[in-house]
Structure formats: C-alpha cells, structure tokens
C-alpha cells in the first residue's frame, strides 16, 4: 500500500505474548460492564472502547434443565470499530473481520456438586500495533471443571486446543495447552 509516497508493509505477525495480550484484551472487553454505553443496553448495544473507538456487543443466555443437571450457554459477540484497548503493555486498534465470538457453556449436577465448563473462542479481528497490522483469527477451545466437596475440591482441566492469531494454544500462557 502507498501512503504519502511511502510503501507500507503489514509487518511481522503477532508474537505469542502479543497474541495472548490481544486475546485477554478482547475477553476483558466482552465482559466489561463499566464501559460507557453509546446506545442500546449492556447486553445488546454499542460500547465506547477504553482508549477510543467503539464496539457492538450482543450477549445471549440459553438455560436448560434436564433432571438434576443445569446447563447454561452464554454467547458473546463483539464487533470492534476502530476500538483501541491496552493489554499486556501493548495498545491495539481493532476492527471486526467479521467479529470476535466467545461462547461459554457450564453445566452442574446437583448430586455430585460438579461444575464443568467449555469455552469456544472464534471469529477474527483486524489489528494494528505500532507500525504493524494484520488479521487475527481465533479458533480456541478450552474445558475443565471442579468437583466440590468443600473439604477437598478437585479441579480438572482438559486444557486448550486451537490457535490465536496463528499461535498454537500450547504457546499461550493463558491457554494452558492440553
């Protein structure tokens, strides 16, 4: 691309630490309940991003009950528009390509006091970081849970599989590869 007579290149892809920071920033933005609402509601509206720009967010909750098992699926969709956020010491400018999606399913069984979760992260965003830019595709799946007996809770995890910005899950500190 030519800009003011200079030829610019996309630059290097995000490092594993930068990809992890972008993922954490997006998850933080999805769950932000303190940001300024531009229009709509907190569940289905347009939010002001922390350092400029905006993001459209849609949240849906689907509860199910079967016997003594309670299952809930919470879906978040975030479509950034020149959204600027800081995470891990980096400042990212983001646009949806098409959007960032996070889906979390939890289920609990009353008799065992067991809670299981599955998290799916998908979609894509265009990013700018300093003089670099590119597209980050999210394709990450995590799972785990806890068996609660109060005296000795047992945590279990299936780990994470997939990629964030082309970085394998096992190279991401937050994903805890599996």
pLDDT digits (tens, 9 = 90+) for 25-44: 999 988 887 778 999 988 89
pLDDT of residue 154 exceeding 60, the answer is: yes
pLDDT of residue 71 exceeding 80, the answer is: yes
Tokens of 160: 């994470």
What pLDDT shows up at residue 92? 97
Q: pLDDT band for 116, please (50, 70, 90 cuts).
A: confident
Q: The whole model's pTM is what?
A: 0.83
What pLDDT shows up at residue 111? 62
Specify which residues 103 forms β-bridges with. Answer: 75, 120
What pLDDT shows up at residue 69? 83
Which sign, positive or negative, has the C-alpha torsion 164, 171, 120, 53?
Answer: negative
pLDDT of residue 96 exceeding 90, the answer is: yes
Distance CA 38, CA 56 (A): 10
Q: What is the CA radius of gyration of the chain?
A: 18
pLDDT of residue 170 exceeding 60, the answer is: yes
pLDDT of residue 7 exceeding 50, the answer is: no
The domain segmentation of the chain, as residue ranges, is 12-171
Tokens of 56: 């459209």
Reference 48, options 96, 92, 95, 80; nearest CA is 80
């Amino acid at each position: 691309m030519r800009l003011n007579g200079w030829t610019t290149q996309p630059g290097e892809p995000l490092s594993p630490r930068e990809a992890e920071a972008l993922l954490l920033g997006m998850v933080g933005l999805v769950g932000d309940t303190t940001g300024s609402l531009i229009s709509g509601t907190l569940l289905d509206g347009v939010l002001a991003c922390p350092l400029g720009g905006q993001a459209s967010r849609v949240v849906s909750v689907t509860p199910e009950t079967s016997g003594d098992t309670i299952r809930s699926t919470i879906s978040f969709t975030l479509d950034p528009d020149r959204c600027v956020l800081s995470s891990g010491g980096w400042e990212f400018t983001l646009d949806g390509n098409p959007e960032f999606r996070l889906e979390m399913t939890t289920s609990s069984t009353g008799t065992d006091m067991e809670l299981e979760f599955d998290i799916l992260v998908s979609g894509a965003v265009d990013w700018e970081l300093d003089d670099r830019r590119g597209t980050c595709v999210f394709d990450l799946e995590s799972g785990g849970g806890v068996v609660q007996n109060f005296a000795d809770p047992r945590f279990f995890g299936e780990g994470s599989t997939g990629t964030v910005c082309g970085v394998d899950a096992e190279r991401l500190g937050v994903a805890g590869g599996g």
